[in-house]
Amino acid sequence: MNSLDGGIPYAISSCSRLEVISLQSNSLEGEVPQTLAQCSFLQQIVLSNNNLQGSIPFQFGLLPNLSIILLSSNKLTGIIPKLLGSSKSLTKVNLKNNSISCEIPLALFNNTNLSYVDLSRNHLSGSIPPFSQTSLPLQFLSIAENNLSGEIPVSVGNISSLSFLLLSQNNLQGSIPDSLCEIADLRILKLQYNNLLGIVPPALFNISSLTYLSLSNNQFVGTIPTNIGITLPNIIELIIGGNQFEGQIPMSLANSSNLKNLDIRNNLFTGHIPSLGLLSNLKILNLGTNKLQAGDWTFVSSLTNCTQLQMLCLNFNGFEGKIPKSIANLSKSLEVLLLTENKLIGDIPSEIGKLTGLNVLTFERNMLTGIFLTHLGEIPSTLGDCLLLQSLHLEVNFLKGSIPISIINLRGIIEMDLSQKNLSGEIPEFFGSFSFLKILNLSFNDLNGKVPKGGVFHNSSVVFIQGNNKLCATSPMLQLPLCVESPTKRKKIFYILAILVPGDLDSYTEVALTWTYAQVLLRLDQFGAPNNFITECEALRNIPHRHLMRVISLCSTFDPAGNEFKALILEHMANGNLES
């Protein structure tokens, strides 16, 4: 990798014997020179990962020895030249991640020499051309993330040597053709995010070479073969979420010893979860949004053998009963634990704090009861030990008590939702010091006291504290009553006005001063104190006596702590005191 910029010099075209031009991963810009086609010995054009613009020169299709053209990750537009697809020498084409807008040339998919074609992440439209040639040498084909429509051509079965077929994120329709199941050496098949429908051909689950199968986010129906764990012995990632599959999770999946990712979320699966403890390589288990039941929760105990497990999603199902304490024995690598919206009851196990690698923890919308995480903060089995936690959702349960002080350890928390419970006590001051906190929902509890200042509380659009009728704020921004603090909780600040009373005052003045002096010892934090201060100063100003300093004016301001401060302004005191 270099740091070249500017355009590709046209002078390179004068290198008549040039065989390879490799300038990938630079900052080159401008157009790809058409004159490169003058280099008749050119075999490889490698210009990936630059900022090249314009269209692909059609003259490249005339180069008699060109075998590899790699132009991925640029800003190319226009079409794929038909001549390029007709090249007799071309074996590898990578135009991934550009802005090419056209239909796929028919000749490109019927080239008898091409083994690798990647056209993904462009703006290709139209349908997938038929593969009219038999025994094509194509091994890798990716046209994912385009705007292709129509059906998967039946002729796809002609590509008998295909190992990688990536058609995801298009607008493909219809069903999976049976002929696709005849590609015996297929290793990776990605069909996710299309509009495919119907029953998946059972033969697809018999392609024993498959290591990655993604059918997610389509409209497939039916059941999964009960022997899938035997017929797909090499499967590493099985992703079939977002469809309408039904039935039970096949017990044979326990035999898929290479399985790392099992994602069956958003389907209609029912029944109990089988024991999957033999899947020692399992990292992701996503069973969310089905109709599953826990039974005796033994599947959780079996998962403790999956020491690489990073994500366990059981949300939006029908799990009942108490959360087993064995959940705390799951992998220390567990980052995501989702149990949202089930029918869980009882306490949240304090042992949950042993899962110190957690980033996301959700228990919301269950029927959990008991004292709110009373043991948290105690080392080692506390939620406060989950220092990596970024998202905590416990809303809509029957929890009570105060927000535990152990939460102060979660310095990396980004979002926290403790709403719609029976939490009491004050909002901890430390929330205002959480620099990463973006969303805080404490609404509809029984919290009281003053809302903290600073941090997330500066933005009322991301702090939700409505439904707590005992809260107050020091700023109107949060739309709460302003706090009137109890005298016992505030710093006692006395403002003393000293008045020297001479001995020769008449009785009226003496009485007036005696009354005045009794009032000039004021606490400005008391209700009505500012008005009293002004009243007493007015009385002092109107007392005539030659030995009293004349009051010129008074001032009112706030000290650095926000406390109101008032003072008298007197004439210059020559002796440095109140004696003139």
71 vs 520: which has the higher pLDDT: 71
* 430 SS3 class: helix
The residue-averaged pLDDT of 67-81 equals 97
Write the pLDDT tens digit of every residue in 449-497: 999 988 999 898 999 999 999 999 887 877 888 888 665 544 444 444 4
Q: Is residue 538 part of a domain?
A: yes
Write the pLDDT tens digit of every residue in 152-191: 999 998 899 999 999 999 999 999 999 999 999 999 999 9
326 vs 502: which has the higher pLDDT: 326
Number of structural domains found in the chain: 1
388 vs 99: which has the higher pLDDT: 99
Burial of 270 (0-12, 13-18, 19+ CB in 10 A): middle
Asked if residues 131 and 161 have their Cβ atoms less than 8 Å apart, the reply is no
Residue 143 has pLDDT above 50, yes or no: yes
The residue-averaged pLDDT of 495-524 equals 41
Provide the pLDDT confidence category of residue 380 given band limits of 50, 70 and 90: very low
DSSP characters over 501-552: --TT--HHHHHHHHHHHHHHSEETTSTTHHHHHHHHHHHHHT---TTSPPEE
pLDDT score, position 553: 62
The residue-averaged pLDDT of 118-128 equals 98
Q: Is residue 525 part of a domain?
A: yes
**How many CA atoms within 13 Å lie on the side-chain side of 529?**
18
Write the pLDDT tens digit of every residue in 16-25: 899 999 999 9
pLDDT score, position 133: 80
pLDDT score, position 351: 84
Q: Is residue 563 part of a domain?
A: yes
Q: Is residue 217 part of a domain?
A: no
Q: Is residue 544 part of a domain?
A: yes
pTM value is: 0.78
pLDDT score, position 494: 41
The residue-averaged pLDDT of 416-445 equals 91
The residue-averaged pLDDT of 353-361 equals 91
Spatial CA neighbour of 373 closest among 408, 410, 348: 348
pLDDT score, position 541: 62
Q: Is residue 512 part of a domain?
A: yes
512 is in which domain, residue-wise? 488-570
Q: Is residue 524 part of a domain?
A: yes
Q: Is residue 79 part of a domain?
A: no
Cβ neighbours for 1, distance < 8 A, ≥ 6 positions apart: 24, 25, 26
